[in-house]
C-alpha cells in the first residue's frame, strides 16, 4: 500500500512512461505510416523513401521513441509529421474546448453517479439498479443520437451540432455544450454508479452502519458520518476511471458534434499515423487518470492509518 505522496507520484510517473511506450508501440504496429498517409498512394517508391527520410521515419523505432521522450522531458512535444506544426500549439488550441466539455460532463456525471450509486447500493436488485445497468451498457454514440433526435429534432431546443466560433472561449456558447456534455455524462454516470453501488452495498451491510440505523439516527447522518468516509477512496478511484473513460469518449462525441477538441484531433491523427500528436493526446489523458488514481491511493492509505 502506498502511503507517501512521493511514492504515489513516482508510481504514477512510471505508469505514464509505460503508457507512452505502449501507445508508441501500438501505433507502430498499425499498418502504414505518416509518409504513406501524406503520399496518399500516389507516390513512387523513391519519392516515398525521400519523404520518410525527411520525416525521420527511416530511423529505427527505439531511436525515434527516445528522441521523442527526450524532447518531452524538455517540454517539447515535437512537430506534427503531417502538418509540420508544433504539437504543443495544436494541443493548446484544442485543450480548452475538451476541458470545458469534460468539466461540464463531470459536473453532471459525478452528482448523478453518487445519487444513483446510493440507490443501487440500497437496493441492488431494484428497478433503478436494473435501469442503471442497462444505461451503462448503451454506447455513447447511441445516447448522443437519441439526445439529438429528442432535443434538437422533436423538441427543437438545442443545436444538433456544436461548432465553436473562432477565437471565442467554449463557455461563451453554452447552448453548444449541453447535448455533447449530456451524451458523455449519462452513460458515464450509470457506469460509475454501477461500480460504486457495490461498494455502497458492502458498506451498508457493515454492522456499525446497521447499528447506527437501528439506533434511529437519521439516514442522512448515517450516510455522511458512517458511510461516506469509507467510500471516499473507492469513489475517487472510480472518479479517476470515469474521467478517463469520459475523455476517451470525447473522441467519438466530438466527431459527431463537429466539436473542435482533442478527441477529434486524436481520431484523425491516428488515421494519418501522426505519432507525435497521438502520443501527446494520449499522454495528457493518461496523466489525468493516473494522477487521479494516485490521489485515491494516498487517500485510502491515510484513511487506513487512522484508528477506527
Angstrom distances, CA of residue 53 to CA of 15, 38, 56: 32, 13, 5
Q: Site size for another protein, by CB under 8 A?
A: 75
Can you tell me the distance from the alpha carbon of 203 to that of 198, in angstroms, rounded to the nearest whole number?
9
Give the largest Cα separation in the chain, rounded.
83
| Residue nearer to another protein on the CB measure, 41 or 216 | 41
Query: Per rule CB under 8 A, is residue 227 in the interface with another protein?
Result: no
The DSSP result for 79-129, as a single string, is B-TTT--BHHHHHHHHHHHHHHHHHHHHHHHHHHHHHHHHHHHH-TTSHHH
**Cβ atoms 279, 81 nearer than 8 A:** no
* Nearest alpha-carbon partner for 135 in 249, 263, 125, 127: 127
Stretch that binds another protein, among 21-29, 159-167, 198-206, 209-217 (CB under 8 A): 159-167
Looking at 264, 275, 292, 298, which residue binds another protein (CB under 8 A)? 264
Looking at 88, 96, 141, 159, which residue binds another protein (CB under 8 A)? 159
| Residue nearer to another protein on the CB measure, 47 or 67 | 47
On the CB side of 246, CA atoms within 13 Å amount to: 34
Place of cell 455522511: 224
Q: Which x/- pattern over 65-104 shows residues binding another protein (rule: CB under 8 A)?
A: --------------xx-xxxxx--xx--xx--------xx
Can you tell me the distance from the alpha carbon of 81 to that of 139, in angstroms, rounded to the nearest whole number?
33
Which residues are CB-contacts of 295 (< 8 A; sequence separation ≥ 6)? 8, 236, 240
Query: Per rule CB under 8 A, is residue 211 in the interface with another protein?
Result: no
Instruction: Kindly identify the residues of this chain, within the stretch 6-45, that bind another protein according to CB under 8 A.
Output: 30-32, 36-44
List, in sequence order, every residue forming a beta bridge with 79; answer none if it has no partner.
86
Query: Per rule CB under 8 A, is residue 58 in the interface with another protein?
Result: no
Q: Which x/- pattern over 99-118 shows residues binding another protein (rule: CB under 8 A)?
A: ----xx--xx--xx--xx-x
Looking at 125, 154, 155, 168, which residue binds another protein (CB under 8 A)? 168
| Residue nearer to another protein on the CB measure, 87 or 290 | 87
Query: Per rule CB under 8 A, is residue 255 in the interface with another protein?
Result: yes
Instruction: Kindly identify the residues of this chain, within the stretch 119-158, that bind another protein according to CB under 8 A.
Output: 119, 128, 152
Minimum distance, C-beta of residue 133 to another protein, in the bound complex (Å)? 15
* Nearest alpha-carbon partner for 272 in 21, 19, 30, 97: 30
| Residue nearer to another protein on the CB measure, 4 or 32 | 32
Minimum distance, C-beta of residue 227 to another protein, in the bound complex (Å)? 15
Stretch that binds another protein, among 12-20, 209-217, 225-233, 260-268 (CB under 8 A): 260-268
Amino acid at each position: 500500500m502506498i502511503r507517501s505522496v512521493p511514492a504515489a507520484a513516482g508510481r504514477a510517473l512510471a505508469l505514464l512512461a509505460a503508457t507512452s511506450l505502449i501507445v508508441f508501440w501500438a501505433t507502430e504496429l498499425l499498418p502504414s505510416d505518416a509518409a504513406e498517409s501524406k503520399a496518399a498512394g500516389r507516390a513512387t517508391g523513391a519519392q516515398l523513401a525521400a519523404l520518410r527520410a525527411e520525416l525521420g521515419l527511416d530511423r529505427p523505432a527505439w531511436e525515434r521513441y527516445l528522441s521523442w521522450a527526450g524532447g518531452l522531458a524538455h517540454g517539447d512535444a515535437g512537430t506534427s509529421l503531417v502538418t509540420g506544426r508544433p504539437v504543443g500549439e495544436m494541443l493548446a488550441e484544442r485543450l480548452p474546448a475538451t476541458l470545458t466539455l469534460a468539466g461540464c460532463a463531470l459536473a453532471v456525471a459525478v452528482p448523478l453517479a453518487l445519487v444513483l450509486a446510493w440507490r443501487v447500493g440500497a437496493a441492488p436488485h431494484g428497478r433503478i439498479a436494473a435501469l442503471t445497468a442497462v444505461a451503462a451498457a448503451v454506447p455513447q454514440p447511441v445516447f448522443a443520437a437519441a439526445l439529438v433526435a429528442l432535443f434538437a429534432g422533436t423538441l427543437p431546443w438545442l443545436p444538433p451540432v456544436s461548432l465553436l466560433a473562432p477565437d471565442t472561449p467554449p463557455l461563451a456558447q453554452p447552448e453548444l455544450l449541453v447535448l455533447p456534455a449530456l451524451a458523455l455524462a449519462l452513460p458515464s454516470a450509470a457506469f460509475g454508479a454501477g461500480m460504486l453501488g457495490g461498494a455502497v452495498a458492502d458498506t451498508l451491510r457493515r454492522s456499525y452502519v446497521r447499528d447506527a440505523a437501528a439506533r434511529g439516527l437519521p439516514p442522512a447522518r448515517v450516510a455522511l458520518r458512517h458511510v461516506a468516509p469509507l467510500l471516499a477512496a473507492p469513489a475517487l478511484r472510480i472518479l479517476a476511471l470515469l474521467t478517463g473513460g469520459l475523455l476517451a469518449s470525447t473522441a467519438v462525441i466530438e466527431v459527431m458534434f463537429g466539436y473542435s477538441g482533442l478527441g477529434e484531433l486524436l481520431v484523425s491523427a491516428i488515421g494519418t499515423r501522426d505519432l507525435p500528436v497521438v502520443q501527446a493526446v494520449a499522454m495528457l489523458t493518461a496523466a489525468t487518470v493516473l494522477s487521479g488514481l494516485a490521489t485515491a491511493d494516498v487517500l485510502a492509505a491515510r484513511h487506513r492509518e487512522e484508528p477506527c
